[in-house]
Amino acid sequence: MYYNVINAWAFWYLFHSFQNPLPWAACPLNSNHTGYIEECEKASSTQYFWYRKTLNISPSIEENGSIQWEQAMCLILAWLTVYLCILRGTESTGKVVYLTASLPYLVLIIYLIKALTLHGAVNGLVYMFTPKLEQLANPKAWINAATQIFFSLGLGFGSLIAFASYNEPNNNCEKHAIIVSLINSTTSVFASIVTFSIYGFKATFNYENCLNKAMLLLTNAFDLEEGFLTADNLNHMKEQLMATHPNEYVELLPQIKNCSLEAELDTAVQGTGLAFIVYSEAIKNMEVSQLYSVLYFFMLLMLGIGSMLGNTAAILTPLTDSKFLSTHLPKEVISGIVCFINCIVGLTFTMEAGNYWFDIFNDYAATLSLLLIVLVEIIAVCYVYGLRRFEKDLHLMIGHKLSWYWKIMWAFASPLLIISLFIFYITDYILTGTLQYQAWDATQGHLVTKDYPSYALAVIGLLVASSTMCIPLGALAIFIKRRLKREHRSTVA
């Protein structure tokens, strides 16, 4: 439900990429045309475009504001696109996925070629491939990596089960499992090479900008000859100036920032920040930026729609398979109703405080409940249904016996890993105390940390509880049904 807002943003940026110059390339002018808008000066033009023009974000989660009609229209368009793809059920979804899965690879290859030729890309690649031992020793890094693989494979969402239910029984699922995992990991590495090249380009660009600004400041303040200060002699000259003109230098000191390439590369971002701010900043500095921008946001759109198709198929398949609904309503109407309800609820994310609610959903709705679902799945299959029965079923399906590797992984290694991840997350939540979020401060031009108000905490609790409660509630419902059937049989007999 909340995920389609990302597609709405991707649509927004895609439509705005057809302008020359790109709207996030320069700051807009203020009302009397003497300078730039203050918020844009303090932050950067890409951040201004994201926080003000796209989201029109309010300073905190309490101030809800009104629905942004442009975002609402993009959201409706995104849901219409999803409806178009799942309208006919999985046969049509299968054909669409050919497109949404292969086009991103094409765009990634184009970007790889472009990114490797950018100035400063090598810095990013060197940064990526040099192991940072203190980071590797931190267990949090490994846990984040495990979580990332977990989510990128789409386990626990139900989409894998939904798609697999349309397969034939003699489908070689063992081979497919290996192929999917390998392709997933290779694609991650490939995408991160592209990402880090672009990152290196952006970091080098910002670093050189910072150096130029510092040099200009010093040149203007001390009326030195142009070109006197270069990147190499800057530090040496700074000391010299400090010695010869101590008073004026001290005055300038707060304005001169220490520029460091390492610091620029270390500012790691992820999620919506990376996709919409960092990448658009890198794109605006390339030549023919409109083309690269269109390609990039089109690729984001394809990926987002692909994920949405999986999620929506996971919801729709049980609904269309249930006899009650499919006899009363045709498939198209069921899909339409599901899309419509989700669209209406999703309009809350287009309000001014919508991004804060989106972050709540993104961080808390999925993590714990997915871990729990997958843990219950694996325990149910291995221990409740019985590993031997499962092994026999698989032997029937794929024609040869399972190797011991799978058995050990399913019975011991995977449950242990998932339980440890689960325990880690719970302890993390307990230890951090009150949860905080990043709010955009328009007057200062950067993010500030704020505490969640009580009703937001209540919503978070409700989210986590409702998704984890489904399994026990379902078990309870079946238990009650069986009890009633048994009583009915005993009264009849």
Q: Known binding site: residues? A: 152, 184, 303, 307
Tell me how far, at minimum, the Cβ of 138 lies from another protein, in Å.
43
The residue from 15, 298, 422, 429 that contacts another protein (CB under 8 A) is: 15
Closest to another protein by CB, 83 vs 425, is: 83
Distance CA 330, CA 458 (A): 38
Which of 227, 254, 399, 433 contacts another protein by CB under 8 A? 227
Q: Which residue ranges make up the annotated binding site for Na(+)?
A: 152, 184, 303, 307
Given candidates 81, 197, 206, 320, which one binds another protein under the rule CB under 8 A? 81
Residue 392 CB, nearest approach to another protein (Å): 9
* The only residue of 148, 165, 192, 220 in contact with another protein, by rule CB under 8 A: 220
Binding of residue 16 to another protein (CB under 8 A): yes
Helix, strand, coil shares of the chain, percent, nearest 5, are: 75, 5, 25
84: contact with another protein by CB under 8 A: yes
Measured CA to CA, the distance from residue 420 to residue 319 in angstroms comes to 34
Helix (H, G, I), strand (E, B) or coil at 8: helix
DSSP 8-state assignment for residue 351: B
Burial of 438 from C-beta contacts in 10 A (0-12 / 13-18 / 19+): middle
Whichever of 36 and 406 has its CB closer to another protein, that residue is 36
CB contact set of 125 (below 8 Å; sequence gap of 6+) = 193, 196, 197, 200
Residue found by looking up tokens 């303090």 in the block: 42
User: What's the CA angle centered on 164, arms 163 and 167, to 5 degrees?
Assistant: 110
The residue from 239, 262, 393, 428 that contacts another protein (CB under 8 A) is 393
Give whichever of 331 and 407 is closer to another protein, judged by the CB atom: 331
194: enclosing H helix or E strand: helix 173-222
Nearer to another protein, 12 or 201 (CB): 12
Using the rule CB under 8 A, give the single segment among 42-50, 219-227, 249-257, 477-485 that binds another protein. 219-227
Candidates 87-95, 181-189, 419-427, 456-464 — which segment interacts with another protein by CB under 8 A?
87-95
Query: Is residue 396 near another protein by the rule CB under 8 A?
Result: yes
Establish if 99 lies at the interface with another protein (CB under 8 A): no
The residue among 128 and 224 lying less far from another protein, judged by its C-beta, is: 224
Q: CB within 8 A of 466, min separation 6: which ones?
A: none
Element (H, E) at 446: strand 446-451
**CA angle, 466 then 470 then 472, to 5°:** 120
Considering the complex, state which of residue 134 and residue 223 has its C-beta at the smaller distance from another protein: 223
If the CB atoms of residues 25 and 43 are measured against another protein, the closer one turns out to be: 25
Q: Which is nearer to another protein, 11 or 111 (CB)?
A: 11
Beta bridge partners of 451: 436
Closest CA to 125 of 199, 206, 208: 199
> What's the rounded Cα separation, in Å, for the pair 378 and 69?
45
Q: Give the contact letters, 328-347, x = binds to another protein (CB under 8 A), - = no.
A: --x-x---------------
- Write the DSSP assignment of 17-37 as a string of letters: TTSSS-TTTSPPB-TTSSSB-
Cα–Cα distance between 358 and 171 in angstroms, integer?
A: 39
Nearer to another protein, 223 or 287 (CB): 223
**Residues 158-177 vs another protein: string with x where CB under 8 A?**
----------xx--------
Answer for the pair 379, 477: CB distance below 8 angstroms, yes or no.
no
Residue 19 CB, shortest distance to another protein, in Å, is 5
Is there binding between residue 12 and another protein (CB under 8 A)? yes
Find out whether 441 and 51 touch, Cβ atoms under 8 Å: no
Report if residue 87 touches another protein, rule: CB under 8 A: yes
**Binding interface with another protein (CB under 8 A):** 11-12, 14-16, 18-19, 26, 28-29, 33-36, 73-74, 77, 80-81, 83-84, 87-88, 92, 168-169, 219-220, 223-227, 330, 332, 393, 396
